[in-house]
Amino acid sequence: MKTLKDAKRGQTVTVAKLTGTGALKRRIMDMGITKGAEILIRKVAPLGDPIEVNVRGYELSIRKSEAENILVAE
């Protein structure tokens, strides 16, 4: 399955599963990224880190290391 890190700029994806554990998973969920949430990839930094996304009506910057723990479906 594809991760949020693999999604391209301008693409809208749906969260399928979170794979992180403990505090990392809680932090991701606290940002509003939960199963079924739609995420629009707005910008990707030149070196790929961070990724700017739009989730639940607000803009959010997320690190590649965090994005690897978010499995998505197109």
| Chain Cα centroid distance, residue 7 | 9
pLDDT (0 to 100) of residue 21: 84
| pTM as predicted | 0.83
Please report which residue ranges of the chain form alpha helices under DSSP H: 22-30, 64-67
Whose structure tokens read 């939960």?
34
Q: Residue ranges per domain, the chain?
A: 2-73
Q: What is the pLDDT of residues 24-63, one digit of tens each?
A: 889 988 888 989 999 999 999 888 789 999 999 999 999 9
Does domain 2-73 match CATH 2.30.30.90?
yes
pLDDT range class, residue 15, cuts 50, 70, 90: very high
Residues 6+ apart with CB under 8 A from 27: 66
Contact 39, 4 (CB under 8 A): yes
